[in-house]
Amino acid sequence: MHIIFSPIWFMGIDSIFEILSAIIAIFVGFYAFKIYRSTRKKDFFYLFIAFAMLFFAFIVRSFTDLAAYSLFLESIPIITKIVQVQYVYYTGIYTYQLLTLLGYLTLAILALKIRGRRVISLLVMFVIISSVMSLVSYSAFHMIAAVMLSYVVLHFYENCSRKFCKNSLLVFVSFLLIFLSQVIFIFIFHTWFYVLGQVLQFLGYFLLLANLILVYRS
C-alpha cells in the first residue's frame, strides 16, 4: 500500500489544514454541547461526540503525517526509512480511520434518525472491521466515509430546501465539500488529487466555522 501521497512542497501544509480542521471540529462540538446542556436534547450530545471524535482523528492524522514526513526526509538508509515510515504510518492511521468513520457514522445516524440500539451496534462493528480492512486499501476507507457523508449531505440538502437561509446553505455546502473531498481521495492516483482533496476538506470545515460565527453574531 502506498503511504505518502503528498508532494514534497505540500508536506506540512496538509498537517496545518488538519490541525485547523481539528480546532474547528472541537469548536462545533462544544457549541453542540452547549445547546445540549440548555435543551437536554440527546441529538446535540451525539453531535458533540461526533465532532469530538473528528477532532481527535485530525490531531492523530496530523501528527502521524508530520512524523512520517520527518522520517521520509531524513538522511538514513532507504530500507530503514521504509520500515520506520510504515511503522509510524500504520500505528497512527488505524486510529485516525476508526475515529473518522465513527464520527461520520454518528452524523449519518443522526441524519437518518436511527434509534435501534442493535442496528447502531451492528454499524459500529462494521466500522471497526472496515477500519482494519482499510489499512490495506487507502481508497476503501474514503469510499466508506463518502457513503456515510452522502446521507449527511442529503439530510442537509433537504433541510436547506425546506428552510432556506444563509446558515442552512452554509452547512449544506460545507458537508458537500467534505463529501467531495472523500470522493476525490477514492480515485487518488496523482499527488494533485491529494492536494485538491485536502483543500476541499479544509474549505468544508472552514465553512462550518463561518456558519458558527454567523450563529454567534445573530
Rounded distance, CA 63 to CA 3, Å?
15
For residue 143 the three cell numbers come to: 469510499
Tell me the pLDDT tens digit for each residue of 116-152: 889 999 999 989 888 877 767 778 899 999 999 999 9
Tell me the pLDDT tens digit for each residue of 51-84: 999 999 999 999 888 877 776 555 554 444 455 5
Q: Where are the alpha helices (DSSP H) in 113-137?
A: 117-133
Residue 131 has what pLDDT? 82
Tell me the pLDDT tens digit for each residue of 182-210: 999 988 777 889 999 999 999 999 999 99
Single-letter residue type at 160: C
Whole-Å CA distances, 52 to 74, 111, 126:
33, 17, 20
> What does the DSSP assignment read for 58-115?
HHHHHHHHHHHHHHHHSSS-HHHHHHHHHHHHHHHHHHHHHHHHHHHHHHHHHHHT--
Single-letter residue type at 178: I
Tell me the pLDDT tens digit for each residue of 9-18: 888 899 999 9
